[in-house]
Structure 1
């Protein structure tokens, strides 16, 4: 059946008297006819849709025997072929479809239609026009609440923050139930758009409206304040909300702790930890990580060490990452002995080292010209299955050359080449010059030939004149 025949049949069915349609009333014929139409695979044209009018279109969308999903499919088909239709779906058609989709819990489809109504340039209706039309539609209270909460979300997702404020005020003034989770999503959107002032205003409106504020909304605002560098205000808000019965959780406190630790703001950190203790909120693994990271980077190694031991005492998992932070902290303070003790503790507690564990230790020993000890850890690292990267190779070759150990540097360069890495030109110049100074011209010539094969111009190599 073509769509034109479908519409003529539809008109005929509608105009027939009840005696003529003894089998089914008019509205019960629509589902079968629409289903047949939606199954048509042929492309539509102007003559196909010429008989469709607003009355028939609305009748189809409002028909109770037609599934909302089929109405949505039909609506989209008409919208996509707008140039072939003599009318545009009006506000009433949009609202009728949205209402049905919301009742059927097809929220994603309802959001799509609402977006076309309120955001898209065509047909885009102002908020007050939409709100007034919804009032006239006499939506059920639950459907109305779903509609306006969805409207708030659509405006927020599309950066229409002024319209969100209008929607929120309208809902508050008309006693429409506001979904706190939708408000939380809006707070996150404001934070992401760097509209912290609007986020704070909206949050306090939520509080004053009497909404049951969740910890997620509180955390979203505190996170925005911390990202903006206003940790003190974030901590004061947590304190203020606690007085109103809105308690922060460990995620909220971790947001504050992470910001304090990264900025080395230990004075504010002590106040946050005191507030956390007063609220009876226990540390989790993330809390310890933020604190240990902050303490070790600043040089408060003893405080960090105490926290690691506290984690072990509580049976919390202490991973390699935390020990690596400790190792770097001790090395910055020049305490190699403490690092070796940490290695023993890791071994005793079955915590496996990784490349980031070995690298600072190898670097530290090679810096103090303890190349034999440095290579001991290199071999230990390789025996555990960790491969050296170009950075480590370059560093070791440089340190060997600085210590006059040119043969070791040359052998390491050969190993490096076998692994597919190329030493920097500056390192090759350094090695070639040292080989010439130690009268190892054959190795210097070998190095020169390798560099030339790599496409390096001999003129850029400073040791070529020394060979000749």
Structure 2
């Protein structure tokens, strides 16, 4: 076979022999046969050893492969560098890190193997995957200093990608510095890694700078680069930038693929531009780009979030006509959409239909079902489903727990809400801002504002940043108890953080300046403490009454007049709150100012 240069058949024969004979004995037998016949057969023996080495590597017979390698080196034969890469890659696939590194050093020390940059890059990649980046860099330096092999951009890309995966910002900067000092120019892969890194870190501006640098260098950007930028822009809500990139790639003759269209459709759906999403879906079909369940599910989710349930169900029918079967995401999305419209029975029927069709529910499905029962007020059934998940070995996620915690908090069952918080922590699930906001809101509802403040402090200690809803809950609770100074401090903090207050915050702040009415109902909370009961949403916090015609409206243009009037600090503060928003008018109780409309020189504008 060797003489006829039929190497493929030769390898097939060797493969069958290796699986039946111990390799060391086989090599010895070959040696005795060919050396005794002719010294001129050394080329055949060398080719035989090289091929046998590859066959052992392919069959994961690593020790046998090393035996063949050592035999060849001892006889002055050469194992090709490409064959050594085959073994290095096999060791990498089997996660044999130390074995891989030792063999690489054996290749180097043998002095008979041509060490290429690909071999070095494989070993560097193996070390980086185990997190040993410093060891990988040390190996690169050693090889360069000994003049054996110098790292190229591909080796550095491996290091760079490892730092990105570990979210090591300092490491990324260090690798880029090393590349610059070594005079190694970034390639397309380098730029792609950097764009992904900056974009995933929320630094879209930095990602765009990298993209512009690629343009300046006239690099041939492919569909993957454009898709990456389009995807991150869509995630950040920059659909105009995404559309501009989409048009640019088409103008350059780069055809969008399924992932490109998927990113664009997702961005349009999130932006509420369903007509644009529909146009993109039609364009996919015209261009013959494969449609998949993910694309249809994305569109259905967009419809559901806007309450367009008829369109969502129609799309499901179209999807199934195209031979694509609805999956667990499809049914969960539809059920969630129905739930948001308070069509709870239809949502439950949708999930039951899913089970009837043999589609196994997942965590999202169970969470949706829990949400349905919570909104129906059936917390016992919601809790039962949570326990069923545990019995079936399905681990609830943070959304599952947050849904129940929020429901218990709104129902003033704070003890059970805190039990669930402890349970989720016990399962290794870290509470997030939604968890704390629900609990803070619940504590404020039952007039345990000091407990709410403790939760707020605990949240900050854990490095969790409060949201608008968190601050709204705290300000509402403090205002309800007449603690206006503290309420305004939280308002100031909210503004410093760049959070935009809503109408509820201003209503609470103005209400904090009222004194509690004597006729407000009082009841006990679950802790046996007295609680103010004001179920009517039109009653201001602490005002204890409905808004009437005695209230008046101050126009925003009246600020100069206000500044001439000597009012208590808290009253002026209430006016300053109004001036810092886009709201042009604010309803203020006459008793707050203790002044008539005429004294303020502001025309009465009626209701």
TM-score range for the pair, normalised by the shorter chain length: 0.5 to 0.7
Distance (Å, rounded) in 2 between the aligned partners of 1:235 and 1:132:
45
Residue 121 of structure 1, CA deviation: 4.1
Distance (Å, rounded) in 2 between the aligned partners of 1:105 and 1:253:
39
- The one of 121, 136, 140 aligned to 1:219: 121
Q: What are the within-5 Å matches in structure 2 for residues 309-388 of structure 1?
A: 309-330=212-233, 336=237, 338-344=238-244, 346-347=246-247, 350=251, 354-365=260-271, 371=272, 374-382=273-281, 384-385=283-284
Q: How many residues align?
A: 335
Distance (Å, rounded) in 2 between the aligned partners of 1:265 and 1:218:
23
Q: Residues 455 and 126 of structure 1: is their aligned pair in 2 closer, same or farther, counting only changes over 3 Å?
A: closer
Kept after mapping to 1: 8 A contact 2:153/2:184: yes
Q: Does 1:271 align with 2:171?
A: no
SS of the residue corresponding to residue 212 of structure 1 reads coil
Q: Does 1:232 align with 2:134?
A: yes
Cα deviation 1:37-74 (Å, max 9, x = unaligned): xxxxxxxxxxxxxxxxxxxxxxxxxxxxxxxxxxxxxx
Distance (Å, rounded) in 2 between the aligned partners of 1:301 and 1:416:
34
Kept after mapping to 1: 8 A contact 2:312/2:334: no
Kept after mapping to 1: 8 A contact 2:233/2:239: yes
Kept after mapping to 1: 8 A contact 2:11/2:51: yes
Paired position in structure 2 for 1:107? 7
Residue 415 of structure 1, CA deviation: 5.3
Q: What are the within-5 Å matches in structure 2 for residues 27-426 of structure 1?
A: 101-121=1-21, 125=25, 127-140=27-40, 141-210=42-111, 211-245=113-147, 246-330=149-233, 336=237, 338-344=238-244, 346-347=246-247, 350=251, 354-365=260-271, 371=272, 374-382=273-281, 384-385=283-284, 389-401=295-307, 408-414=308-314, 416-420=316-320, 424=331
Distance (Å, rounded) in 2 between the aligned partners of 1:234 and 1:108:
36
SS of the residue corresponding to residue 139 of structure 2 reads helix
Residue 308 of structure 1, CA deviation: 0.5
Cα deviation 1:330-367 (Å, max 9, x = unaligned): 555x5x4x4424433543563676422323323432xx
Distance (Å, rounded) in 2 between the aligned partners of 1:239 and 1:136:
46
Q: Under a length normalisation based on structure 2, what TM-score does the superposition of the two structures give?
A: 0.47
SS of the residue corresponding to residue 424 of structure 1 reads helix
Distance (Å, rounded) in 1 between the aligned partners of 2:316 and 2:91:
51
Q: Which runs of 5+ in 1 are unaligned?
A: 1-100, 366-370, 402-407, 438-443, 463-468
Distance (Å, rounded) in 2 between the aligned partners of 1:144 and 1:215:
28
Distance (Å, rounded) in 2 between the aligned partners of 1:122 and 1:166:
11
Q: Which runs of 5+ in 2 are unaligned?
A: 286-290, 358-368, 374-607
Q: What are the within-5 Å matches in structure 2 for residues 17-28 of structure 1?
A: none
Kept after mapping to 1: 8 A contact 2:107/2:115: yes
Task: Please provide the CA RMSD for this pair.
Answer: 4.0
Kept after mapping to 2: 8 A contact 1:145/1:178: yes
Distance (Å, rounded) in 2 between the aligned partners of 1:218 and 1:209:
15
Q: Under a length normalisation based on structure 1, what TM-score does the superposition of the two structures give?
A: 0.60
Distance (Å, rounded) in 1 between the aligned partners of 2:23 and 2:114:
36
Distance (Å, rounded) in 2 between the aligned partners of 1:355 and 1:103:
55
Bigger RCO (CA 8 Å, 6+ sep): 1
Distance (Å, rounded) in 2 between the aligned partners of 1:455 and 1:148:
60
